[in-house]
Amino acid sequence: MNRLAALLFLLSTLAWTVPARADEASTAAAFQKLRTSPWLLRQFMFSFPKGGDLHNHLDGSIYAESIIAWAGADGKCVDPASGQISFPPCDAARPPMKDYAADSTRYSQLVDAYSVRNYERGARSGHDQTFVTFGRFIPGTLGREGDMLREASNRRGVENTVYLELLQSYGMDKARALAAAEPGAFKADRPASDWAGHPALARIVAETRTDLDRHEARWRELSHCGHAAAEPGCGVTVRYLAQVIRTFPPEQVNVQIALAFLLVKADPRYVGLNLVAPEDDPGTLRHYREQMAVIGALGKLHPDVNVSLHAGEFGFGLVPPEDLRDHIRQALDVAGARRIGHGEAIGLETGALDTLRDMARRGVAVEINLTSNAIVHDLKGDQHPFLLYRRFGVPTALSADDEGVFRIDLTNEYQRAAATYPGLSYRDFKQLSRNALHYGFTAGQPLLADTASGRFVPACTGERPSREPKAARCRDFLAAHAKARLQWDLEARFAHFESQAH
C-alpha cells in the first residue's frame, strides 16, 4: 500500500469509526438517563436488538388466553375444579371449554390456573404453582403445534430478536412408551452403545422429523411467511433443543436422552439437547448422577452434539444441603454441558470458585432467567448469582424460560436486569445480547472475536455491518458460517438502533 492509499484507508476507517462510537456513546448516555423510568426503560429495551433467547420452553411460552381459545375451538373439555384440560367427548363433570370459558369469571380463573397470575394471593408457592400448570394445560396445546411456533416466534420477532432456541419434546412420549414396553432394554448398567441404537429409535427419529416438518409448515402458513404480510416471527431464526423430561423412571429418561442425541445427529434444526422438569423432584435427586453419566457416555459416542443442562435450579431450604453440593459441577464434568441453565445454586456448591473459574476458561455460558428464579425460588436482587458469574468472567445471557406461565417477555428480562443491577452499562447489555447468539448452538464459526467489544474475526476486520462487506474474504466467511451471518445481522441492528434518537 503506498502512502496515499494508506492515508485514504486511515481516513475511511476514521470516517466510520468515529460516528459509530459517537452513536454508541450517545445511546449509552440516553440509556443512563432513562433507566430509572420503568416505562421509558421498557420502550428502550423493547426496541434494543437482542441476539437470541437460548432458554425458552415452547410449552411454557404460550399464554393462557391462547390455550383457552384453542381448547374451545378444538372441542376439548375442562375440569372446573382444577382447570385440567382433556379430550372430547366432554360430560357433565368435564364440560366443553367453549361453554365453560364463555363466563368471564370462570375464564379469569382459568387464566390463573394456567399461569402464575395472582399466585401470591393463593395458598400455593410460586414453585408449586409454576410446575402444576403444565399438566393442566398441555392437552389444550396438542394439535396446535404450528400455532405455538407462531406465538413463540412472533413475540421474539416484535422484540427485535435475531435467534431463538426452543426447547420441545416432540417424540419423547414415543420413546418413553418404547422403554415401558421393553423393561430392561434401556438400563444404564450396560455400555450406552449397547442400547442407545435400539432399532425402534430410528423409526421415532424419522416420524419426529416428519412431524416437525408439518408443524413448521403450519406455522409458516399461519404467519404468511414468504409473503408481503409475513408476521414478525418469520424473520426469527428458530432452532430446537430436544427436551428430555427427567422426572420419569430411569429407563424412560435414558431412552429420551438417546432419542435426543439421535435427533440432533439427524436433523440440523435440532442444535442440542437439554434435561427439564423440577431438579428438586425426589426422582431427579435420586437419579441425577446416573442421568449425567448417561449423557456423558452418549456424548463420547457423539462428541459433536451440544448439551445444555438445567443445573443448580434450586436453592437453600428447598432440598437438603447435600443435594446442593455438585449438580452444576456434575453437569460440566460428567455430562459435558457446554451451557448451564439457571445455575442459581452455584454459591452453595463445594468448590464453587474453582467451578466458576473453569466455566470462564471453558467459555461455558449461563442462561439467566431472572423472573423465573424470582417467582419459583424467591431468588432476586443481590441474592441472585448473576453478578457472581459476571465477576468471574463467566459468559451470561438473559432468557425468558416459561414466558407464558410467568406472563413476561424477553424485553421484561432486559428491563428487570437494568432496573435491578444499576452497575450494568449499555455496553454490558450489548454484550448480554451478543452472548445470546455467540453461545447459541447454531452451526458455524462466530463473527465476533469477543462479545464485549464486538470486535470481528480477522476475515471481517474493518467491515461495517450496516452495508455489504467490501472484502471478498469476509463475504466468503459469512457465506460459510450461519452463526457469523446471524451475528452480522445483530451488529447491523445495533448500528441502526444507535442511529436513532432515544
Q: Which residues bind Zn ion (CB under 5 A)?
A: 401
Nearer to Zn ion, 116 or 179 (CB): 116
Hey, what's the cell of 453? 467489544
Nearer to Zn ion, 368 or 486 (CB): 368
Distance CA(378)–CA(100), nearest Å, equals 34
To Zn ion, the closest distance from the beta carbon of 167 in angstroms equals: 7
Nearer to Zn ion, 160 or 308 (CB): 308
- DSSP-based three-state secondary structure for 201: helix
Q: DSSP states of 129-140 as a string?
A: HHHHHHHHHHHH
Residue 229 CB: number of other CB atoms within 10 A? 8
To Zn ion, the closest distance from the beta carbon of 163 in angstroms equals: 17
Closest residue by beta carbon to Zn ion? 401
339 - beta bridge partners?
308, 365
Nearer to Zn ion, 234 or 328 (CB): 328
To Zn ion, the closest distance from the beta carbon of 372 in angstroms equals: 7
To Zn ion, the closest distance from the beta carbon of 207 in angstroms equals: 26
To Zn ion, the closest distance from the beta carbon of 186 in angstroms equals: 25
**Preceding amide of 469 cis, omega within 30:** no
- Residues with Cβ within 8 Å of 191's Cβ and at least 6 positions away in sequence, in order, are 297
Hey, what's the cell of 5? 492509499
Nearer to Zn ion, 401 or 463 (CB): 401
To Zn ion, the closest distance from the beta carbon of 300 in angstroms equals: 26
To Zn ion, the closest distance from the beta carbon of 90 in angstroms equals: 32
Cell 390455550 belongs to which residue? Answer: 67
Nearer to Zn ion, 154 or 372 (CB): 372
Nearer to Zn ion, 246 or 493 (CB): 246
To Zn ion, the closest distance from the beta carbon of 128 in angstroms equals: 16
Nearer to Zn ion, 401 or 498 (CB): 401
C-alpha of 212 from chain center: 18
To Zn ion, the closest distance from the beta carbon of 45 in angstroms equals: 21
To Zn ion, the closest distance from the beta carbon of 276 in angstroms equals: 6
Amino acid, single-letter form, for residue 498: E
Distance CA(237)–CA(173), nearest Å, equals 26
Nearer to Zn ion, 159 or 401 (CB): 401
Amino acid, single-letter form, for residue 442: T
Maximum Cα interatomic distance, the chain, rounded to a whole number of Å: 89
C-alpha of 386 from chain center: 17
Distance CA(233)–CA(156), nearest Å, equals 7
DSSP β-ladder status, 85-86 and 77-78? antiparallel
- Residues with Cβ within 8 Å of 276's Cβ and at least 6 positions away in sequence, in order, are 57, 167, 243, 244, 245, 246, 310
Amino acid, single-letter form, for residue 322: E
Asked if 432 contacts 396 with a C-beta cutoff of 8 angstroms, the reply is yes
Nearer to Zn ion, 344 or 401 (CB): 401
Q: With CA atoms as reference, report the closest residue to 416 among 404, 405, 403.
A: 403
